[in-house]
């Protein structure tokens, strides 16, 4: 599959909509680049990446559009990500977990896309690169798309007005004055070894802001019961966390379901039982750390962990900080 780089049609639609608005010969430009002449109903289908980049470059050059990649990126939103990716992010207990999901599933957005997280003192970089394209012309269009989605994911946790301290491009790209004015106080860097956006490491432990972040459920027969079971489990599990009865088989029996049925309902949303259990444990523990003076060992035991060391490792994996650091940050913030 990686021998033919592919991208989701969703990422080409903003470029097409801009061209439509200015009356450009969209069909002719698409056909010249050997792309389907109509893309309106092909947003979730995959298109060849290199012809897509050539199409965007030809359109910018012939139509005289300044900073085409930036303009298209402004029309993309969190909802344009794959549905299963959005579900995993929406159910992530912390921003760090959400970004890890995004990195793991990045190749489902572009087949040669890789994403990873780098730590740099008190900052974190969310990096991305298209494999085998180094030095390729027109990468700046793809890299605006690569950078805009980590920003949208972070905004699900940090708020809709959050801006990254820096946005970097692998290509030799310089944003126009209009683009810079739309991103005040953001530092732009070019000729980097990957595209990336930075954020303070303290943001990694942010919790999901509200249930309103949950995307539409999959359009299938099991969807309503699958979606409902997630919320029911989140309501039920806290009562059992300190009781030693949170194994999948135990919880399925308590809920009146077979283990296989419970797994199937969660899998319909791209989730596993361990995802839900980790979220319930984190929400319970973070609440105690933030709102009470409970000892760390008591927080660990009441959250279903057998010892504080196991709890600290799991908590750091979800937040990037220890339980003690989380408590200190919460009280400072």
Confidence band (pLDDT; 50, 70, 90) for 148? very high
pLDDT for position 137: 62
Q: pLDDT digits over 196-241, tens only?
A: 999 999 999 998 864 444 444 443 333 334 457 888 888 888 888 8
Q: Residues 285-314: what's their mean pLDDT?
A: 93
pLDDT for position 212: 43
pLDDT for position 219: 39
- Evaluate if residue 115 carries a pLDDT over 90: yes
pLDDT for position 234: 84
- Evaluate if residue 304 carries a pLDDT over 50: yes
pLDDT for position 24: 95
pLDDT for position 46: 87
pLDDT top residue among 275 and 217: 275
Contact 93, 278 (CB under 8 A): yes
pLDDT for position 140: 82
Q: Residues 83-101: what's their mean pLDDT?
A: 90
Q: Residues 248-273: what's their mean pLDDT?
A: 88
Name the range with the highest mean pLDDT among 131-135, 168-172, 268-272: 168-172
Pairing verdict, β 123-130 and 113-120: antiparallel
DSSP 225-281: HHHHHHHHHHHHGGGTGGGT--SHHHHHHHTT--HHHHHHHHHTTT--HHHHHHHHH
pLDDT for position 225: 43
Q: Residues 23-33: what's their mean pLDDT?
A: 93
| Percentage of the residues of the chain whose pLDDT score is greater than 90 | 56
Structure tokens at 170: 């692998």
Q: Which fold has domain 217-332?
A: Arc Repressor Mutant, subunit A (1.10.10)
Q: Where are the domains of the chain?
A: 6-73, 81-205, 217-332
Q: Identify which of 325, 329, 326, 296 has the alpha carbon closest to the alpha carbon of residue 311.
A: 296
The mean predicted confidence, pLDDT, of the chain is 87
pTM: 0.81
Contact 235, 283 (CB under 8 A): no
Show the DSSP H helices in 91-246 as ranges.
95-104, 139-158, 177-182, 223-236
Q: How far apart are CA 273 and CA 277, in angstroms?
A: 6
Q: Residues 277-300: what's their mean pLDDT?
A: 93
- Evaluate if residue 79 carries a pLDDT over 60: yes
Q: Residues 129-148: what's their mean pLDDT?
A: 81
Adjacent-strand bridge partners of 125: 118, 198
Confidence band (pLDDT; 50, 70, 90) for 135? low
Pairing verdict, β 46-48 and 113-120: unpaired
């Amino acid at each position: 599959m990686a021998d033919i780089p592919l991208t989701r049609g969703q990422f080409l639609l903003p470029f097409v909509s801009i061209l439509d608005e200015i009356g450009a010969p969209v069909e002719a430009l698409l056909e010249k680049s050997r792309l389907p002449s109509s893309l309106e109903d092909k947003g979730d289908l995959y298109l060849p990446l290199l012809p897509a980049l050539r199409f965007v470059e030809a359109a910018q050059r012939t139509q005289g559009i300044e900073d085409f990649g930036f303009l298209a990126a402004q029309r993309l939103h969190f909802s344009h990500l794959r549905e299963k990716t959005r579900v995993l992010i929406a159910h992530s207990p912390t921003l760090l977990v959400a970004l890890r999901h995004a990195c793991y599933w990045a190749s489902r957005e572009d087949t040669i896309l890789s994403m990873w997280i780098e730590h740099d003192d008190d900052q974190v970089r969310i990096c991305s690169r298209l494999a085998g394209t180094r030095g390729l012309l027109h990468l700046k269009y793809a890299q605006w798309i690569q950078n805009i989605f980590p920003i949208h994911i972070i905004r699900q946790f940090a708020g809709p007005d959050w801006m990254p301290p820096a946005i970097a491009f692998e290509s030799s790209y310089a944003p126009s004055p209009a683009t810079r004015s739309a991103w005040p106080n953001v530092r732009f860097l070019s000729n980097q070894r990957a595209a990336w956006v930075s954020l303070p490491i303290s943001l990694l432990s942010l919790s999901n802001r509200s249930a309103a972040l949950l995307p539409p459920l999959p359009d299938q027969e099991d969807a309503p019961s699958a979606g409902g079971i997630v919320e029911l489990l989140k309501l039920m599990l806290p009562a059992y966390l300190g009781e030693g009865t949170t194994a999948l088989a135990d919880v399925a029996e308590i809920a009146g379901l077979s283990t296989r049925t419970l797994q199937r309902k969660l899998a319909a949303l791209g989730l596993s039982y361990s995802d839900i259990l980790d979220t319930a444990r984190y929400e319970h523990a973070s609440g105690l750390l933030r709102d009470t003076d409970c000892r760390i060992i008591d927080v660990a035991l009441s959250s279903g962990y057998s010892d504080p060391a196991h709890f600290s490792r799991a908590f750091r994996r979800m937040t990037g900080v220890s339980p003690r650091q989380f408590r200190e940050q919460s009280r400072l913030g």
